Amino acid sequence: MANSYISGAVAKANFGSTDVCVTGWTYSEGGDDADTTHSCSGGVKTSIVVNTEYTGTLDANVDEDAWPFAAPNLRRGQTGALKLYLTATDYIELAVEIKTFEITSTVDDVISFTVGWYGTAAPTTVPSA
């Protein structure tokens, strides 16, 4: 059976109602589990999820015509709806707060920035699986 890989070239992001021309993004789910191991678990550790966190980053180049501090204002403390596109029509959507904003400048490359975010609500996927 052939694989159907997805190119990262279509993986844009949208913050609020504004497309963000990203060079990449990350999405991660993590959190805390409560240990529920007991005498009848046969020596196997068991647990349940009690807290889930959603975190990630957006990476982009600084464009003088679309400065990152302008709309959609990707600054620390800014909140909004984030869409992370997997294809032209499939995306992960969640409410986020911007936690970090970092600008990187090197002599032999373009100036870029990275935005770190965390989810303030559980994500949805469109179309849902």
User: CATH number for the domain including 25?
Assistant: 2.30.110.20
Contact present, 82 and 74 (Cβ < 8 Å) = no
pTM of the entire predicted model: 0.75
Give domain status of residue 38, yes or no.
Answer: no
pLDDT one digit per residue (tens) for the chain, 129 residues:
677 777 776 667 877 777 777 888 899 988 888 888 888 888 899 888 888 899 999 888 887 776 655 546 678 888 888 888 888 788 889 999 999 988 899 999 888 889 999 998 888 888 755
CA distance 127 to 84: 13
Give domain status of residue 80, yes or no.
Answer: yes
Helix intervals (H) in the chain: none
CA distance 58 to 21: 10
Give domain status of residue 18, yes or no.
Answer: yes
Give domain status of residue 39, yes or no.
Answer: no
Q: Domain count of the chain?
A: 1
Give domain status of residue 77, yes or no.
Answer: yes
Q: What DSSP line would sit under 28-49, residue for residue?
A: EEEEEEEE---TTSTT---EEE
DSSP state of 77: T
Give domain status of residue 22, yes or no.
Answer: yes
Compute the C-alpha angle 15/87/58, nearest 5°.
35
Range of the structural domain that residue 17 is part of: 9-31+44-126
